[in-house]
Amino acid sequence: MIALRKPRYIARFAASDSDVAAAQALRYLAFVANEPPGAAPQQGFDADPFDAICRHVLIEDTRDAEATPHRLVACFRILPLGGGSDIARSYSAQYYDLDALEQFEGKMVEMGRFCLHPQVHDPDILRIAWGAMTRFVDEEGVEMLFGCSSFHGTDTAEYLDAFAMLKHRHLAPARWKPRVKAPNVFKFAARLRRKPDARRAALKMPPLLKTYLLMGGWVSDHAVVDRDLNTLHVFTGLEIKAIPPARARLLRALPV
């Protein structure tokens, strides 16, 4: 059970093939279409083989009570794993050498393909997404969340302060450190010598990654350059026991 409702928005699991198709269409709009402002939405689907083994979470705008279905404003997918011994099954394992995490003994969940509708900018959507994820983690006894956190575009120069901040404060502990696997990566921890400008770093940090970090998350020491999706992404991990108690209480405070 993952359903959460906050005035205007509801988060729920996909319950049909059409729900999954709606999520794939939104992902296409967010990741692939790259529309200029004011352009008519392009039609298409972002789909891959992992969709069949994941559970999909939809966040819908319920303002129009007569609308069926409600407007989809965000989505993500989750892949529950029994422990680190299953991590090779994950999407992230295509891009990162995760051998170190095979030793993690607790339940894990990969959270991926998180996206917002390009025309929607409401921080409540991210809050309810994390509230829904928190409920799932609590109910299933999950001990680690992980995934790929993406920066838009592949120009590393645009994000140097953000990457410098990741190097300065948020690198993975040595025991879980992801190693290089993808052919095209930016080794920011090895290459950057600059002191990060905190304001510029905060402005350039993706909202999802920023939330991970506020909860005690950590990242790989390199970013993968993914030209297919026009992103730079870093492996991101979060041990549930590391979440500050006050923040955990806030995540659990969303109304059903």
At 107-161, the pLDDT tens digits run: 999 999 999 998 888 888 998 999 899 999 999 999 999 999 999 999 999 999 9
| CA dihedral angle for residue 230, residue 234, residue 240, residue 242, rounded to 10 degrees | -140
Residue pair 225/185 in contact (Cβ under 8 Å)? The answer is yes
Q: Per the domain annotation, does 36 fall within a domain?
A: no
Q: Per the domain annotation, does 186 fall within a domain?
A: yes
Q: How confident is the model at residue 202 (pLDDT cuts 50, 70, 90)?
A: very high
Q: Per the domain annotation, does 213 fall within a domain?
A: yes
Report the number of distinct structural domains present in the chain.
1
Round to whole Å and give the CA distance between 126 and 121: 10
Q: Per the domain annotation, does 27 fall within a domain?
A: no
Q: 239 is in which domain, residue-wise?
A: 77-251
Say which CATH number the domain at 244 has: 3.40.630
Q: How confident is the model at residue 16 (pLDDT cuts 50, 70, 90)?
A: very high
Label residue 66 exposed, middle or buried (CB < 10 Å: 0-12, 13-18, 19+): exposed
Q: Per the domain annotation, does 87 fall within a domain?
A: yes
Ramachandran class of 243: left when φ > 0, alpha when ψ lies in -120 to 50, beta otherwise: beta
What pTM was computed for the model?
A: 0.90
Q: Per the domain annotation, does 11 fall within a domain?
A: no
Q: Per the domain annotation, does 191 fall within a domain?
A: yes
Q: Per the domain annotation, does 131 fall within a domain?
A: yes
